[in-house]
Amino acid sequence: MMRKSVVVTDSAAQVPTEAIDKYGIEVIPLLISFDNKNYLDGIDISAHELYQKMRNDKIVPKTSAPTIMQFYQSFEKHIKEGVSEILFVSLSSKLSSTYNAALDAAKMIREKYHDCEIVIYDSLMATIAQGFLAIEAAQRFEEGMSIKNVVTFLDGARKRTGIAAALDTLEYLARGGRIGKAQYVLGTAIQILPILGIDQEGIVAPVANLRGKRKVIPTMVSLIKKQIGAYHKARFAVMEADAHERAEALQKAAMEAFPKNEFPIVEFTPVMGAHTGPGLIGLAYYWE
């Protein structure tokens, strides 16, 4: 079916395959690098493969944004297929240069194609929470909403979207230079594990610090219950990075707290997991 409007996003958004197929969403992969090789996220290497290598081979992967040319080729392809509105829902600009690369590509496209409207939208989110915004935008295109009105909708929707994710260890943050050695040694010694969220400015920040793992799951569920008001619609997902048993325990607790909703378990996006490491579990949500 010919689409007048299309949603494009990046692989950090973890958009499920069924949503990609249903709404024609295009996903542009970020890059993961280790051992002097580059991998397209989700194409050349899966999340499971990456986490196993981090555990077993002690690799320290690096990540990078898609290139300007990747975006240019994507946007041009859609225009040549007859699309007149392109909305790119980006990983938070505070976490990656993905947003800026897409802006540069959109500028180049506008200089060549004057009749196409392209909006590069900073989701201020990551993981499947970002994906929820991309799916909601695509649904509204299906309903006939204009790109201007979809952007207005997203401005409100991203305030009702978020994550709570618990690390298994501070080791991988230390390996990648995200925390200092002193912080790592102290945190490990007193068994401090942070629960991370993404704030309204699009920055990953601790929302709680726990001593030990016993209270991780009830604390995450409690944090999200406080964020969500009375709702008529909600999307949830349980995220896991090579921690399926703990993810199932989190899924059970979340279903008890929100009994009318589904909680699919999805693998945590490798481009984020490269920094946080395997063993992570988390909850992502969107509500209206």
Q: Are 153 and 137 in contact (CB under 8 A)?
A: yes
Proportion of the chain above pLDDT 70, given as a percent: 92
pLDDT score of 183: 47
Structure tokens at 228: 């969500």
Choose the weakest-confidence range: 15-24, 62-71, 171-180.
Answer: 171-180
Measured distance CA(240)–CA(54) in Å, rounded: 15
Q: Are 231 and 287 in contact (CB under 8 A)?
A: yes
DSSP state of 276: H
159-216 per-position pLDDT tens digit: 999 999 988 876 676 565 544 444 433 445 446 788 888 999 998 888 888 877 889 9
pLDDT score of 6: 97
Side-chain-facing half-sphere of 75: CA atoms under 13 Å: 31
Q: What is the mean pLDDT of the chain?
A: 90
pLDDT score of 190: 47
Q: Which has more confidence, 171 or 277?
A: 277
> Across residues 15-37, what is the average pLDDT?
95
Structure tokens at 247: 């993810």
pLDDT score of 180: 44
Q: What is the 3-state secondary structure (H, E, C) of 236-267?
A: EEEEECCCHHHHHHHHHHHHHHCCCCCCCEEE
Identify any residues that bridge with 119 across adjacent strands, giving them in sequence order. Answer: 87
User: What is the residue extent of each domain of the chain?
Assistant: 5-159, 160-287
DSSP state of 146: -
202-258 per-position pLDDT tens digit: 988 888 888 778 899 999 999 999 999 788 899 999 999 999 999 999 999 999 999
pLDDT score of 185: 38
Q: Are 27 and 10 in contact (CB under 8 A)?
A: yes
Amino acid identity, residue 118?
I
pLDDT score of 174: 58
Measured distance CA(52)–CA(278) in Å, rounded: 8
Q: Are 280 and 166 in contact (CB under 8 A)?
A: yes
CATH number (3.40.50.10170, 1.20.1290.10, 3.10.580.10, 3.20.20.70) of 5-159 reads 3.40.50.10170
pLDDT band at 273 (very low <50, low <70, confident <90, very high): confident
- In this chain, the answer to whether the domains covering 5-159 and 160-287 adopt an identical fold is no
pLDDT score of 209: 83
> Across residues 4-15, what is the average pLDDT?
96
> Across residues 24-35, what is the average pLDDT?
95
The CATH code belonging to domain 160-287 is 3.30.1180.10
| C-alpha separations of 4 from 7, 114, 117, 221, 273 in Å | 11, 16, 11, 40, 35
pLDDT score of 212: 73
Structure tokens at 8: 């494009």
pLDDT score of 275: 82
pLDDT score of 188: 52
